[in-house]
């Protein structure tokens, strides 16, 4: 569990994660967002000609 060392030192931006690395530096990383699906591109269907049945 992390501790709060001091407040108001870093101006935080929305969508970023802030952490302290092994050397004691404050680092920021863009947060990964999951669960959003991309819209499928509309596929144009080609017109298919039906062959006429031959009468016997």
pTM summary value: 0.46
Residue 18: per-residue pLDDT: 87
What pLDDT tens digit does each residue of the chain (56 aa) get?
677 777 888 888 888 988 888 888 888 999 887 666 667 776 666 666 777 777 76
The phi and psi torsions of 26 (rounded to 5 degrees) equal: -85, 125
Instruction: Write the CB contacts of 20 (distance below 8 Å, at least 6 apart in sequence).
Output: 5, 26, 27
């Amino acid at each position: 569990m992390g501790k709060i060392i001091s407040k108001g030192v870093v101006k935080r931006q929305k969508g970023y994660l802030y952490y302290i690395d092994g050397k004691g530096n404050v680092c920021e990383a863009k947060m990964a967002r999951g669960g959003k699906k991309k819209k499928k591109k509309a596929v144009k269907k080609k017109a298919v000609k039906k062959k006429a049945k031959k009468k016997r």
